[in-house]
């Protein structure tokens, strides 16, 4: 699920902290990889690819159910829509005070 939020007062570190996410990777072109674990293990977890374009924060959100099965691949059992993903998107929007 993809959505955009306009944010002018915070940086990515502050936003990740506010949302309960951890930055696990970043790229030079203002792209970040963030996760929020749902249990004590690494999976399941919410996973966000966040791209910053000026004051626009573009969230690409999904739910990783388990780790990749095959070595060297990024394929996993993920949910890109549905109630859980929609609820998490709404939680993010509310925490960032977006209507």
pLDDT of residue 99: 45
What is the model's pTM? 0.87
Cβ contacts of 65 within 8 Å, gap of 6 or more: 43, 44, 76, 77, 78, 79
Q: What is the mean pLDDT of residues 81-89?
A: 96
Helix (H, G, I), strand (E, B) or coil at 33: strand
pLDDT of residue 23: 96
Query: How many domains does one find in the chain?
Result: 1
Question: By CB neighbour count within 10 A (0-12 exposed, 13-18 middle, 19+ buried), where does 85 fall?
Answer: middle
Domain containing residue 71: 2-95
CA distance 99 to 94: 7
Examine the pLDDT at 14 and tell me if it is beyond 50.
yes
Helix axes 83-95, 12-19, angle to 10 degrees: 120
């Amino acid at each position: 699920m993809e959505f955009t939020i306009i944010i002018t007062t915070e940086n990515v570190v502050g936003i990740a902290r506010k949302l309960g996410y951890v930055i696990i990777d970043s790229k030079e072109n203002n792209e970040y990889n963030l996760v929020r674990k749902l249990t004590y293990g690494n999976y399941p977890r919410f996973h966000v690819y966040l791209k910053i374009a000026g004051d626009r924060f573009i969230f690409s959100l999904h739910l990783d159910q388990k780790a990749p099965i095959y070595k060297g691949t990024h394929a996993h059992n993920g949910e890109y829509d549905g109630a859980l993903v929609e609820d998490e998107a709404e939680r993010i929007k509310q925490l960032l005070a977006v209507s």
